[in-house]
């Protein structure tokens, strides 16, 4: 059994141009009957793709649902525009609405994890006429904070821009550094292994230092 093959998980990969970019998604619908089933749209987090939902794709299909799991903008087989302005919550939400419109879907259940969960809260609020329910995984609803999210994170982990202060590593902060993409590209496996570390002998999470 090839674990990286969509068919192993009861799905097929598709590509289409929607909302001005090429989006790839996994879809369990292989027949007209499948396409008429209730839809569950699943949005992954960082650093993931449709593959993160492989077990859910198979389980939802078996339970009588049509599961749709896109590679979010900037990930996997979906286009990755270079300018950060192309990744606002409104643009990410528009990607999902455009994908559902392309599929002819008017109502769906929504599931989000990590970054996908943050997008999901906004998406369900922006389009309650489309999403009949929302399941957020790992990110509860916070609403608008009293100060910018980066300021809150820097108060917890330190300022990633000031290396001399020896800040703790946190991926959301590290992503704001101009050298972040080159850093990950240079030692991808090592960085992601450190991010996924369960901790050191003292039980504290490992804090990788990106050079």
The Cα–Cα gap between 105 and 109 comes to 11
- With 50 as the cut, is the pLDDT of residue 45 above it? yes
The model's pLDDT over 144-168, given as tens digits with 9 standing for 90+, comes to: 888 998 999 999 999 999 989 999 9
The model's pLDDT over 110-134, given as tens digits with 9 standing for 90+, comes to: 999 999 999 999 999 999 999 999 9
Order of strands across the sheet that contains 12-18:
12-18, 21-27, 66-70, 39-43, 108-113, 131-137
Supply 210's token pair: 């990106």
Q: What are the beta bridge partners of residue 131?
A: 108
Predicted TM-score (pTM) of the model is 0.84
The model's pLDDT over 1-35, given as tens digits with 9 standing for 90+, comes to: 566 678 888 899 999 999 999 999 999 998 899 99
The Cα–Cα gap between 50 and 77 comes to 9
Confidence band for 47, pLDDT divided at 50, 70 and 90: confident
Confidence band for 54, pLDDT divided at 50, 70 and 90: very high
Contact 75, 110 (CB under 8 A): no
pLDDT for 205: 40
């Amino acid at each position: 059994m090839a674990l990286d093959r969509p068919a192993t998980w009861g799905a097929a990969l598709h590509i289409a141009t929607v909302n001005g970019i090429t989006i790839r998604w996994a879809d369990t619908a292989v027949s007209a009957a499948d396409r008429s089933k209730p839809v569950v749209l699943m949005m992954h987090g960082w650093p993931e793709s449709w593959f993160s939902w492989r077990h859910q794709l198979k389980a939802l299909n078996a339970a009588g649902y049509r599961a749709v799991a896109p590679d979010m903008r900037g990930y996997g087989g979906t286009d990755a525009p270079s300018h950060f302005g192309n990744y606002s919550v409104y643009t990410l939400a528009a990607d999902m609405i455009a994908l559902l419109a392309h599929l002819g879907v008017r109502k769906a259940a929504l599931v989000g994890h990590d970054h996908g969960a943050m997008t999901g809260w906004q998406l369900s609020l922006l389009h309650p006429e489309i999403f009949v329910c929302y399941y957020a995984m790992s990110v509860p609803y916070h609403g608008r904070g009293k100060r910018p999210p980066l300021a809150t994170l820097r108060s917890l982990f330190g300022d990633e821009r000031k290396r001399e202060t020896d800040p703790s590593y946190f991926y959301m902060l590290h992503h704001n550094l101009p050298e972040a993409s080159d850093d990950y590209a240079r030692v991808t496996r090592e960085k992601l292994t450190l991010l996924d570390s369960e901790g050191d002998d003292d039980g504290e999470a490992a804090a990788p230092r990106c050079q």
